[in-house]
Every structure is written in structure tokens, then in C-alpha cells.
Chains A and B, each alone.
Chain A
């Protein structure tokens, strides 16, 4: 992780020096800093609200019911190590929110799942699988892209729906297979 960040910084700084415009670093710090605070501010209310809703759903028993019925059989196949019910519920909520296109709720509930999965500072096989599953881009209905396409004057904006579904399922299966292959070795 730190290697990736270091590479980005080195590419940026070296390039700005070679271009003879070292001041670009300062501009990036101001721009990037402003962007991240703005992003945080736009997120904080939404995050707090959805994680509050999660707090309620957790206590009502609806989540544990759905998790048992839908997610458990699937998770048993995907995750290598057994999951506790609290972990299963948090993972299910975050992936379901993701699939339903509830971007902000998905982030909140995903962070919640990380807290449940966490065991010290070690990356466990289950955390790796969860992150790979989450970042593989599985989608049910890509509403943002379809809206954008129709806004840009597409004659058939939703035509990408089925192809995107196929490609994203393919990508996810591929991701989980790679995780199986490499997660096992270490």
C-alpha cells in the first residue's frame, strides 16, 4: 500500500521537476487537500445517517434473517475461513447496498464490516476476500452510467445493462478465482 502511494508521489514530483514546474507540488497539496475536505463534508451527514439506520436494522433482526436466508450459503463457498454471524451480517449489508446502487450506504456498511472482520493489524484471508469481492465491480443495475448516457443523448441508454452485467459477473468470478489461488499460498 505504501509502495503504491510512494510511486504516485515520485512520478508526480519527478515529473514536475523535469517539467521545470516544481510549484505543481504546492498546487496539488492545496487542490487535493481542498478536494478531500469537501468530499469529507459532503459525506459526513450521509455516512452518519446510513450508519444510524444500520444500527437500527441490526437490532430489529431483519438483517440477520435475510443474511441467514440469502447470504450464508453463498458466503460459505466464497470465504475460506468461517465467519461469525455479526461478520456475515455486516458483509451482506455492505454488498447488498453496493448491488442496489446505494453508494454511500455501501461505504458506511463496508467500513462497519471491516471493523467486524478486523483482528489486529493483520490482513486475514477473509478480509482479503471481502475487499476483492467488494472491489471487483459486481453490479445489478448501473443507474449512474445509464442516466449519464441518456443525458448525453443516447438513443438507447440502457442497452449497456446486460453486457455490463455479464462483464461484471465475469470480472467478479475471475477476481474470486485469483483470490483462491494467491490467498492460499501465503
Chain B
């Protein structure tokens, strides 16, 4: 169903544009140019994040942090198998999908771990990535309370993703 949406949006946009007798193609080109410029502005941020991520992800220290966080979060009803997923989720969408795929194949998509992991990924965003690129696009340096809120929210969401499946099953 969701694959019909883009088609519908484009169709409506063009039909309404023709009816309103505006120069559609002209406006399309203007908008496209603005999009390319915006992307150009976030490129340095993307490189910065991707390199830092590639560096951290393969380090032993990262594995150590995962273990420690696991001990901390286990009493709250979160299985320790979910910790790598929870830590990866804020940084990279593709990496967290890869971790989710691994969890689903290892424990089964309909197991407790599979269900809570799916719920968690479905109800969260790649926060750091989104906030960093958006702030960089507007050349804003200070992030104030945004990251603390984002971390707390993901923390609450991973706990409630597990909790809700304990309640249901």
C-alpha cells in the first residue's frame, strides 16, 4: 500500500499545478537545486559521522561498553541481546537494520527478542544522525538539551518495547 503513496503525491502535485496554471517544471527545477545545495551542506557531517562510526564499531572498547550497559539495563526487563541494537540505533539506520536482521535470524522473528527488537526499531529514529545533519545544515553549533532528551527517550522506548511484549504474551 505504502508504495502507492509516492505515486499519488506526485500525481496530485502535477494535476493541481496544471490546474493552477503555474510553471510546474520551473518550480521543480528550483526546488531540485535547493535540495542539491542542502545535501552539499550536510556532506562534511556525513563523512564525520561515518568515519567515527566505522572506527568505534570495530573496537574492543565498544564491546566492553555493550557488556557494561547490558548489566545496567538487564534488571529493567531488557534482554542483554538487545543492547548492541539499542546502542547502534541512534547512529545508523543501515547498521541497526543489519543488527536487527541478525537478531531475527538468530532468535526468530516471533520470539520475545525478535518482537521487542522489531518494536524498538520501528518506534525510534537514528537520532544522532538526524540531529547532527539537520543542525549542520543550518550551521548551528550548540545542541543544548536535544541529545539528552533523545537518549532518555530511546532508553524509555527500549524498556517499553520489552515491557509491552511481556504484558501481551
CB distance from B12 to the nearest CB of A (A): 7
A122 engages B140 (CB within 8 Å): yes
Tell me, in angstroms, the Cα distance from A183 to B59 when the chains sit together.
35
- B31-73 vs A, CB cutoff 8 Å, 1 = contact: the mask equals 1111110110011001111111111101111100100000000
Tell me, in angstroms, the Cα distance from A101 to B2 when the chains sit together.
7
Tell me, in angstroms, the Cα distance from A121 to B9 when the chains sit together.
34
A70 part of interface (Cβ distance < 8 Å): no
- In the bound complex, residues from chain A placing their C-beta under 8 Å from that of B150 are 132, 135, 175
- In the bound complex, residues from chain A placing their C-beta under 8 Å from that of B164 are 163, 166-167
Give the contacting residue for B56; candidates A12, A61, A160; CB below 8 A.
A12
- In the bound complex, residues from chain B placing their C-beta under 8 Å from that of A114 are 134, 137-138
CB distance from B116 to the nearest CB of A (A): 9
Tell me, in angstroms, the Cα distance from A48 to B38 when the chains sit together.
10
Nearest residue, chain A, Cβ from B6: A102
CB distance from A76 to the nearest CB of B (A): 21
Nearest residue, chain B, Cβ from A141: B2
Tell me, in angstroms, the Cα distance from A20 to B58 when the chains sit together.
13
A143 part of interface (Cβ distance < 8 Å): yes
- In the bound complex, residues from chain A placing their C-beta under 8 Å from that of B32 are 48-49, 51-52, 55
Counting chain B CB atoms within 10 Å of each CB, the highest count among A25, A178, A186 belongs to: A178
Number of interface residues, chain B, beta carbon within 8 A:
94
CB distance from A149 to the nearest CB of B (A): 5
B165 engages A163 (CB within 8 Å): yes
A8 engages B55 (CB within 8 Å): yes
Tell me, in angstroms, the Cα distance from A156 to B100 when the chains sit together.
17
- A24-61 vs B, CB cutoff 8 Å, 1 = contact: the mask equals 11011101110111011001100111111111111111
- B135-146 vs A, CB cutoff 8 Å, 1 = contact: the mask equals 101111111111
**Size category, A interface:** 35 or more
Give the contacting residue for B140; candidates A59, A127, A178; CB below 8 A.
A127
Counting chain B CB atoms within 10 Å of each CB, the highest count among A27, A29, A111, A154 belongs to: A111
B76 part of interface (Cβ distance < 8 Å): no
B56 engages A11 (CB within 8 Å): yes
If A29-B51, A171-B160, A183-B145 touch, whether A52 touches B56 (CB-CB below 8 Å) is: no
Give the contacting residue for A28; candidates B22, B24, B55, B137; CB below 8 A.
B55
B52 engages A135 (CB within 8 Å): no
CB distance from A5 to the nearest CB of B (A): 6
Q: List A residues at the B interface (Cβ < 8 Å).
A: 1-2, 4-5, 8-9, 11-16, 18-19, 24-25, 27-29, 31-33, 35-37, 39-40, 43-44, 47-62, 100-102, 105, 108, 110-112, 114-115, 117-118, 121-123, 127-128, 131-132, 134-137, 139, 141-146, 148-149, 152-157, 159-160, 163-164, 166-168, 170-171, 174-175, 178-179, 182-183, 186
